[in-house]
Structure formats: structure tokens, C-alpha cells
Amino acid sequence: MTKLAVLIIGSGGREHALAWKLAQSPRVGEGEIFIAPGNAGTAQIGTNVPIAVEDVAGLVAFAQEKGVGLTAVGPEIPLALGLVDAFQAAGLTVFGPTQAAAQLETSKAFAKAFMQEVGIPAAVSATFTDYQQAVNYLPDGPVVVKASGLAAGKGVIVCDNRVEAEAALRQIMLDRAFGAAGNEVVIEERLTGPEVSLLAFCDGQTAVPLPPARDHKRAYDGDRGPNTGGMGVYAPPPDVDTALVDEIMRTVIQPAVRGMAQRGTPYVGVLYAGVMLTAVGPKVLEFNCRFGDPETQAILPLLDGDLAEIMLACAEQQLTPEMVRVHPGACATVVMAAPGYPGNYPKGLPITGLEAAPPDVLVFHAGTKLAEGQIVSSGGRVLCVSGRGVDVATAVARAYTGVAAIHFDGAHYRTDIGYHSTMSP
């Protein structure tokens, strides 16, 4: 068996989880995992490489120099910049969608038009580039206002009434709160119901689901406070059974993969559907074109298959359902954030207790770095602590046991991860 050198692009908890899982593959050579730019956790698994995720040419040159046989893209920005296209042009095997296929995430306006075209159920919406036209369209009731472009997961404003919606439009289109992402806005009806995230491996034709997950976006307990990149997640939610996963695959994921292929832009990589379970069935809130963060930190511990083999099969249009085996049980992830997150926060806080995490607890580094031999914080979401168990309640309890063992000044985290499920918080 030929051993592969692997390159993982990104620096967060998702990339640490990818490195952890890829290191288990017999296909991956020892000492042949590179993470660009990585963090203090990925440095314990492979070699961090000081190349920014936006430096497409630098990443291509590095992959060529090291003979990298598989590259996995973590965040959305390199996908938007056409990194996959550049790697393919250089003859390098890469797991992720092309720039054209990644429009499902990089342009909400494109995604909405595409869903309407192929008949994927979603909220009724309208798209605008003119502020006054957008204001004139607003109904009196609740809506959701979205910046069409990439806004680091923060360009969505949920509004209870027209006054709030006008303020949201001003913030996005006039005040430029999200920069160029707000050149175009989508106004859509506000759906109600529980949410679920369903990620699926795709090879351009075939799509195979991973375990469903449910995340907690708000900063504080009880789903209060500002939206964040995600404060915790659990998988699988007890209310999402196999029949419901099959329905989402049939009505959302497979039509999307089929529709992208018919456009001549086949979708390869992970397709992530954020879905609202409404009274009339699942409806798409948004697509992401990559592994979610922190969803990945709860989903990959449940994956029994060989991640390197799966990624290669996707890149080579040879994916089969048997490759994606899943462990029984559940996994829950609690995010430990820096004080002040998602607003301004300090960096450089020393972290202790990492080695004290109990068995069945995995600690994925998100915003960390090594400074003079000490692991310190370097981001807003600092650590993702994942517990595994026979059910969600056990997994959550183990995750919090791990959290209790770890310390950095001012650490804040939600104490109610998993409360949506059938258990008590």
C-alpha cells in the first residue's frame, strides 16, 4: 500500500479533528501530515506549516514540493478563492468543491436561485442589491435578513418585525457591517421548528450522509446572547431518525448534487445542509461547502470508516455507502471560549489541565498556539471538548467532565449543551 502525505488547510478545531482522524488511516504515512497553518493541537499530530489559508499559490507550491497525495480543505475562504481549481490544475488530488460548486455557500443569492431551480424546499425569499428596494419589500412580520456573501457565519440577522428588519438592512447594506458580503442581501421568511445539520460526502454523483448533528449558536445558556461560530453540538439528535435522514437526503442533498452535475459543476467534498424541521417537512436554511465547526468535532469521533479512503474516493468519483461506517452511540462537544467572545477578547492566556481529560474525552484545539513551551489561547473559540457515550446524556456528561479538568483565565462556555434533546441539561 502506497503511503500518502496529507495536507490539511486551516487552523481551527475542525482541522485538529481532521488531522486526528486522518492520522488513524493506514493510508497516511507516519510523519506525513502537514497542517497549514495549524495550531498547538495539530502540532502534536503532524507538522504545522506557516502558510496562510488565502495563499493559494504558496499552498500549491508546498504540496508539490512535499509530494502531497491528498489535500483536505477546512475553511470556506480558500474554496471561495478557487484553491481546489488551482490544485486540480497542478495535478494534485484535493478534497473539496471547485470555486463554481462552492457558490452554494459563497453566494446565498446563488444558492436560493439554485434551490428554486431544482425544487429543493427552502424559505420563500427575495434578493436585492438596492437598499430602498429591499426596504420597500419588507413585510410587517418576522423575517431573516442575510448578507449574500461570506461573513464568517455572522451575516444572518433574525428580525421580529419591520423595524428590526430595516435596521438589519441598514447595518448590512449602508453601514457595511460585513463588508462586500453585504453588496447583495437575501430577505426570507422566518421558518420555525428544530434545526438539524446534515453533512454528506459527495463525489460529484453519489452522496452518503454522516450522522446528523444539532449545534448551539448563541453565546449563552438558554439560547441567549449574540450568535457565534458555534458554542457546542451533539450528534445524533434523538429526534432525527434514519427515516428523517433519508428524507433530507432525498429532498435536499441528492437533488443538490444532481443539479450541480447537470450545471457542469459537479460537487465534490462535504455538502452541509442546515435544515429547519418545519410542520410541513424539512426546509433548507443554508448550505455550507465544507465540514462544519464545531459539528466536525462531534461527527468525526462517530465515523468508523477510513477518512483518507473516503476523501480519495470522493476525489476519484468512486464513493460507495459501505465506506461510511458509523460507531453506535453519541458524541457531544462543548466549546470553551475566551472571555468576551464573540466580541473583543484577550489572547495569550495560558491553558492548563489539557492532559487531565478523562478517557472517552477528546480535546480539539481551536484557537491555541505554543508560546515559549506553554500552550496559550490565540482565538475566540479556544478549545472544543468532545465526549463520547452510549447516548447524548452520557456524551454530554463526559464532555463537561473534560471541561472541568481544563483551565484558562475567564474561560466561558455554555452549561446546557444538549438541552434541546430529550435529556435534562
pLDDT at 387: 98
241 & 323 share domain:
yes
Does residue 425 belong to any structural domain of this protein?
A: no
pLDDT at 425: 34
**Residue 359 burial (CB < 10 Å; 0-12/13-18/19+)?**
exposed
Q: Kindly report the CATH number assigned to the domain that includes residue 321.
A: 3.30.470.20
What span, in angstroms and rounded, lies between the C-alpha atoms of 294 and 124?
28
Q: Tell me the residue range of the domain where 166 lies.
A: 124-189
pLDDT at 140: 86
The helix, strand and coil proportions of the chain, stated in percent and rounded to the nearest 5, come to: 30, 30, 40
Q: Kindly report the CATH number assigned to the domain that includes residue 55.
A: 3.40.50.20
362 & 233 share domain:
yes
213 & 335 share domain:
yes
Identify the CA nearest to 308 among candidates 101, 21, 49. 21
199 & 277 share domain:
yes
Say which residues have a Cβ less than 8 Å from residue 125's Cβ, sequence separation at least 6: 112, 186, 187, 188, 189
Pairing of the two strands 156-159 and 94-95: unpaired
pLDDT at 421: 61
169 & 255 share domain:
no
pLDDT at 153: 65
pLDDT at 422: 46
Is the separation of the CB atoms in 308 and 6 below 8 Å? yes
Q: Three-state SS across 170-226?
A: HHHHHCCCCHHHHHCEEEEECCCCCEEEEEEEEECCCEEECCCEEEEEEEECCCEEE
- For the record, the C-alpha cell of 175 comes out as 453601514
Is the separation of the CB atoms in 23 and 32 below 8 Å? no
375 & 249 share domain:
yes
Tell me how many domains the chain contains.
Answer: 3
31 & 157 share domain:
no
Does residue 206 belong to any structural domain of this protein?
A: yes
Does residue 306 belong to any structural domain of this protein?
A: yes
Does residue 113 belong to any structural domain of this protein?
A: no
17 & 76 share domain:
yes
Bond before 97 cis per omega within 30 degrees: no
CB atoms within 10 A of CB 224: 9
pLDDT at 148: 81
Q: How many residues are listed for the chain in this entry?
A: 425
* Grouped pLDDT means (10 residues each) for the chain, 425 residues: 92 98 95 96 98 98 97 96 98 98 92 94 89 90 86 80 91 89 88 94 98 95 90 96 97 98 98 95 94 97 97 98 97 98 96 92 98 96 98 97 98 92 44
pLDDT at 36: 98
292 & 159 share domain:
no
Alpha-carbon 68 to chain mean position: 24
pLDDT by residue (tens digit) across 260-315? Answer: 999 999 999 999 999 999 999 999 999 999 999 999 999 999 999 999 999 999 99
Does residue 327 belong to any structural domain of this protein?
A: yes
pTM above 0.85, yes or no: yes
Residue 70, H or E segment: strand 70-73
30 & 146 share domain:
no
pLDDT at 423: 41
The helix/strand/coil state of 119 is coil
- Among candidate residues 137, 172, 189, the one where a domain is terminated: 189
199 & 185 share domain:
no
> Sign of the C-alpha dihedral, residues 240, 241, 242, 246?
negative
Does residue 106 belong to any structural domain of this protein?
A: no
Does residue 237 belong to any structural domain of this protein?
A: yes
- For the record, the C-alpha cell of 148 comes out as 449574500
Amino acid at 25: S
Amino acid at 413: Y
Residue 103, H or E segment: helix 103-106
pLDDT by residue (tens digit) across 149-201? Answer: 877 667 888 889 999 998 999 899 998 988 888 888 889 998 889 999 999 99
160 & 199 share domain:
no
Alpha-carbon 177 to chain mean position: 22
Does residue 88 belong to any structural domain of this protein?
A: yes
